[in-house]
Amino acid sequence: MFETLETEVTGRVASIKINRPKQLNALNTQVMEEVLAAASGFAASPDIGCLILKSGERAFAAGADIRELAVQDHASMRASNFFSGWDQFAALRIPKIAAVRGYALGGGCELAMMCDVILASENARFGQPELKIGCIPGIGGTQRLTRLVGRACAMDMILTGRMVGAEEALRIGLVSRVIADDQLEAVAHEVAATIAGYPGDIVQMARDCVNMAENSTLDSGIRHERQTYHALYGLPAQREGMAAFLEKRAPNFNGA
């Protein structure tokens, strides 16, 4: 079905793996369109509760495809609103996990940052080296990286173009866990299955509240969280979850 991707479904977890090994999974328009199509399909399915973006052997994605970019000019970039499909991917409300092995550079780092959780293998390398080719990040890198790691670290990475290893990425807040290379996919599936096991509507509420923190003042963010918290009372999942706690049993969210 897809020329640049491999997809798989295990239980309530779907996975997408970019498959352009000769190009180190460089992101071109076809990849963008196919990732968006696959992810949108999974997001629309009530049987899927979490999505994993998997890494190749050597790279998660080593950047945008320069061969495609080098022939563009201002008019063509503006007319096509180049990269806008990635905005649609980022906006999908399905929880997304990036399981990063090897290089996640430029657009690859930006793609990982569109996900809710970034899990890194010990050999993962992150960077925004666009200045080295006379460019700047264009898929949200200047914005998401600054929000994740702060102005000082973002300026350092973007203005020097240097790569950071997995342990430094963990220390500065770019990733949430560093995992042994041979355990990365297993842990990613375990995390995804945990998330997928919770009620989808409650997971989306939690995601929305966390994302609100990046785009609002503290007061308005807390107000949004409180309103959302009040609104979930009376939902089947809330009633089942609290009843199960009081009755000292595991909740049955599937029947809620």
> Cα torsion for 25, 31, 37, 38, to the nearest 10°?
-20
pLDDT at 256: 55
- CATH level 3 topology of 5-196: 2-enoyl-CoA Hydratase; Chain A, domain 1 (3.90.226)
- Tracing tokens 């997809």 back to the chain, one arrives at 7
Q: What is the distance, to the nearest Å, from the Cα of residue 72 to the centroid of all Cα atoms in its chain?
A: 27
Residues 122, 104: contact at Cβ < 8 Å?
A: no
CATH 1.10.12.10 domain extents, the chain: 200-255
3-state secondary structure of 235: coil
How far is residue 96's CA from residue 247's CA, in Å, rounded to a whole number?
32
- pLDDT tens, position by position, 44-98: 999 999 999 998 889 999 999 999 999 999 999 999 999 999 999 999 999 999 9
Average predicted confidence (pLDDT) for the chain: 95
CATH 3.90.226.10 domain extents, the chain: 5-196
Q: Name the superfamily (CATH) of residues 200-255.
A: Lyase 2-enoyl-coa Hydratase, Chain  A, domain 2 (1.10.12.10)
Q: Which residues of the chain have pLDDT under 50?
A: none
pTM listed for this prediction? 0.94
pLDDT at 203: 96
Active site residues: 64, 107, 110, 130
Contacts of 18 by beta carbon, 8 Å cutoff, 6+ apart: 4, 5, 25, 27, 31, 35, 53, 56, 60, 61
